[in-house]
Structure 1
């Protein structure tokens, strides 16, 4: 298989370890989240040079609402600041924003900001997909209901109604911080994706780490149930 054929087009990342990063440095947990946003910025800028068509980031799960109110508020405020500050850069760098999850269940002002960002980046050549208020099991229920409304429930009809419909198939899932589980993320899409679990905490994850992951992926022989 040639290097081009084994190139990852779509990579998803479970960004884990912000709290532990802050704890190790004796900093407030909020500082870990803020440093995690900086890691996102650096990674998004590397999408084009690395040849990725789509980068999907697990930013806020439907289970994250169970965290303390103060932490949730801080995460929401970080989201507001990120959208406002980075939207011009997305537009300038031909990045298309795509949101997966029940994002319309967020605060009205955030929903309005996201709608504006989606509209302004709609023609971008490369995609940044962000999972907000997302849960993989809920996504499957949502897709199955829509498929049933349209007729027969099949693999094709469910896939057509996933939040990721229209995105390239997932090639590689990365999780940081040493945890080895999916945490209800992209359950359908991970069926034949390669997986890589790294010990690096998310705020310390750099474009160099991503490139190493892509090199690792390129060396793998992908199998789909055969030999």
Structure 2
């Protein structure tokens, strides 16, 4: 056979073959491309939010995590950043009596001419008064933990103890309030749990409790 004819026939056969379609992307490539698109969209949204906040001063509210507790019974005021108060530190609603005893100061401290005095113990069983004090103590937030050294006024040792008891006469909670120095409101539970409570707004927590219970105790230190 003529070499020219052989070459012509081979070329015609090759020209008649259909080209193979290009290979499609693998599953890995498709997933990687999808992830890249998602990241690009997320970055675009975040950039837009940043621009809006900077340009317009828009406030952004972040929802609390599911593990956090919010609301009045948690003792956490919105936006305070204070520690969340454990539910185990709430005074039981079945409280039937509140007993208060107050020591004005440690003998000899402060003005030595003014004697140390003790008021009480005074037990209150009025339902409305008890419910008011229980609601107050359960509403206040935990106290902020001070950072660094703290300068306190003179500590004369005065204390007020508020004991909550249930129907069986068993103490269910005890609040210890210091009356001088770096004042504190320590709530202690029977299981050993304790928490430091803040004051009732601008008012001293001990003063508010005495007012709710009608205990008009006044003294000079």
Give TM class, smaller chain. under 0.3
Larger-Rg structure: 2
Bigger relative contact order, structure 1 or 2, given CA contacts below 8 A and separation 6+? 1
| TM-score (norm. length: structure 1) | 0.23
Name whichever structure is richer in helix by fraction.
1
